[in-house]
């Protein structure tokens, strides 16, 4: 790679998921097929919630925004990964690497904070139903959504500042298909212990704390529902279980990737693929498949606007 100012690298070389051409082509078509089915499904979820006034509750407001965040999140690394499958030289510029790093953590953190907002919504709905309309009003929902985006921005900008201040003079090879903060930091031409500690606190510990808090809150809600005799207990329990599934799908790979700051783990690449490419697009689908209301609305929307137009 070229050098910046004769001392700093101008970009990084990505080794990708595989060096075998046949494997790269197979992965390319596999991911294209996956996106062809799942991505339109996420868009359909957003359109359905937006067009059906029966789905105007805060829970569906957050679900639509979750689907939007997931679509944005899966637009950060997969396009570059798919292009590299068809390229002999898998490189990324320094600026492109910093942008990828920023948006990956910005959108990922915003999604975790949004999951916490959804947990608050379920807490109020189950524990304080008489005050639900006041405590989870439209204004409160927009405030929680804005706080999620702001929290994600602060989280990401700290990581970018810590990384951008480091000198990089070689080597410039990343054994991955995208720029991730821990691997980039290890390439710095200076002592990075302090930066790694700060990154670990801002990344690993925040994710772990959020995961524990979310699981604890939903476990508490499930225990409360178990002893409750209120109408709709089964539906509320099913919703909480769905949220827990998404929390594990979202947070478990992140904890695996970022809780060990000392070095790479054997399955880093595989976990990273599921974390950045596959799982995000599946999150809204998991919600939808366990929700009769939104499935019914989607069927009506398809019949009304797609099948009718085809006729």
110-125 pLDDT tens trace: 999 999 999 999 999 9
Buried b (16+ CB within 10 A) or exposed e, 107-135: bbbbbbbbbbbbbbbbbbbbeeeeebeee
Cα angle 162-268-7, degrees, rounded to a multiple of 5: 40
- Evaluate if residue 288 carries a pLDDT over 80: no
Find the mean pLDDT for residues 194-219.
91
Q: pLDDT tens digits for 76-88?
A: 999 999 999 988 8
**241 is written with which tokens?**
């279980």
Strand partners, 4: 8
- Residue 55 carries which DSSP code? G
Contact 272, 30 (CB under 8 A): no
Contact 162, 169 (CB under 8 A): no
pLDDT at 3: 43
Q: Residue 307 — pLDDT band, cuts 50, 70, 90?
A: low
Average pLDDT, the chain: 86
pLDDT at 308: 54
pLDDT at 213: 94
- Evaluate if residue 98 carries a pLDDT over 60: yes
Q: pTM of the entire structure?
A: 0.89
Q: pLDDT tens digits for 245-275?
A: 889 988 988 888 888 655 556 678 888 898 8
Q: What are the structural domains of the chain? A: 3-305 (1.20.1070.10)
Q: pLDDT tens digits for 136-188?
A: 999 999 999 999 999 999 999 999 999 999 998 878 899 889 998 888 998 99
pLDDT at 106: 96
Q: pLDDT tens digits for 34-55?
A: 888 788 888 888 988 898 888 8
- Evaluate if residue 6 carries a pLDDT over 50: no
Find the mean pLDDT for residues 3-28.
79
- Evaluate if residue 279 carries a pLDDT over 90: no
pLDDT at 261: 54
- Evaluate if residue 1 carries a pLDDT over 50: no
**296 is written with which tokens?**
């019914």
- Residue 76 carries which DSSP code? T
- Tell me how far apart the alpha carbons of residues 299 and 308 are, in angstroms, rounded to a whole number: 12
Listed residue (16, 13, 39) closest to 27, CA to CA:
16
- Tell me how far apart the alpha carbons of residues 249 and 57 are, in angstroms, rounded to a whole number: 24
pLDDT at 29: 93
Secondary structure class of 91 (helix, strand, coil): strand
Contact 290, 249 (CB under 8 A): no
Q: Residue 234 — pLDDT band, cuts 50, 70, 90?
A: confident
Percent of the chain topping pLDDT 70: 92
- Residue 306 carries which DSSP code? I
pLDDT at 306: 60
């Amino acid at each position: 790679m070229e050098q910046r100012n004769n001392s700093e690298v101008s970009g990084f070389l990505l080794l990708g998921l595989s060096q075998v051409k046949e494997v790269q082509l197979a992965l390319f078509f596999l991911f294209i097929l996956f996106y062809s089915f799942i991505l339109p499904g996420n868009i359909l979820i957003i359109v359905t919630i937006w067009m059906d006034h029966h789905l105007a509750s805060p829970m569906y407001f957050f679900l639509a925004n979750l689907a939007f965040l997931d679509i944005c999140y899966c637009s950060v690394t997969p396009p570059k990964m798919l292009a590299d499958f068809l390229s002999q030289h898998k490189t990324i510029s320094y600026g492109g690497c910093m942008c990828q790093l920023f948006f990956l953590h910005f959108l990922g953190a915003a999604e975790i904070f949004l999951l916490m907002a959804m947990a608050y919504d379920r807490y109020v709905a189950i524990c304080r139903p008489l005050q639900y309309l006041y405590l989870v009003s439209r204004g409160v929902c927009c405030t929680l959504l804005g706080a999620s985006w702001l929290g994600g921005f602060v989280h990401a900008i700290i990581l970018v500042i810590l990384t951008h201040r480091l000198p990089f003079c070689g080597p410039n090879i990343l054994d991955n298909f995208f720029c991730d903060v821990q691997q980039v930091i290890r390439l710095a031409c200076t002592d990075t212990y302090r930066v790694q500690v700060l990154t670990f606190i801002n990344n690993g510990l925040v994710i772990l704390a959020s995961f524990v808090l979310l699981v604890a809150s939903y476990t508490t809600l499930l225990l409360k529902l178990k002893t409750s005799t209120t109408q709709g207990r089964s539906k509320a329990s099913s919703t909480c279980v769905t949220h827990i599934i998404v929390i594990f799908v979202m947070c478990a790979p992140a904890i695996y990737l970022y809780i060990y700051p000392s070095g790479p783990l054997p399955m880093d690449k595989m976990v990273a693929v599921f974390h950045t490419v596959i799982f995000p697009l599946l999150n809204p689908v998991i919600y939808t498949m366990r929700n009769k209301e939104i499935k019914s609305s989607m069927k009506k929307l398809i019949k009304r606007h797609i099948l009718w137009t085809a006729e």
